[in-house]
Amino acid sequence: MLGDEIVGYADVQLNGYIDHFFVSGAHPRQGIGTRLMARIHEEARLLGLSELTSDVSMTAEPFFALHGFKVVERRFPVRRGVTLRNALMRKALD
């Protein structure tokens, strides 16, 4: 949060799947995403997880790659008649 404004949020499931990862477009390149990713890694260590996975949009793919994730599979899900392009990405943890 910045003041009273929510500028980003993320979660990691018990199986290591990152289901939500969002940073407000009004606050780009301020380290918010990096801090969220660090918190996800902290939580993963506390949970004893061996890997993290996520279905990542094309826009988010470079950010996840910067944090050590690799593309496992390219996907083309259809939502409300619109084909989206994303990738399943995975990162092995120490």
User: What are the pLDDT digits (tens) for 21-30?
Assistant: 999 988 888 8
Given phi > 0 = left and psi -120 to 50 = alpha, else beta, which region is 86? Answer: beta
User: Is 43:19 a contact under the CB 8 Å cutoff?
Assistant: no
Residue 5, pLDDT score: 84
Please provide the CATH number assigned to the domain covering 8-92. 3.40.630.30
Q: How many angstroms from the chain centroid is the CA of residue 77? A: 18
DSSP H helical ranges for the chain: 32-47, 61-66
Mean residue pLDDT of the chain comes to 93
Q: What are the tokens at 16?
A: 């290591």
User: What are the pLDDT digits (tens) for 47-77?
Assistant: 999 999 999 999 999 999 999 999 999 999 8
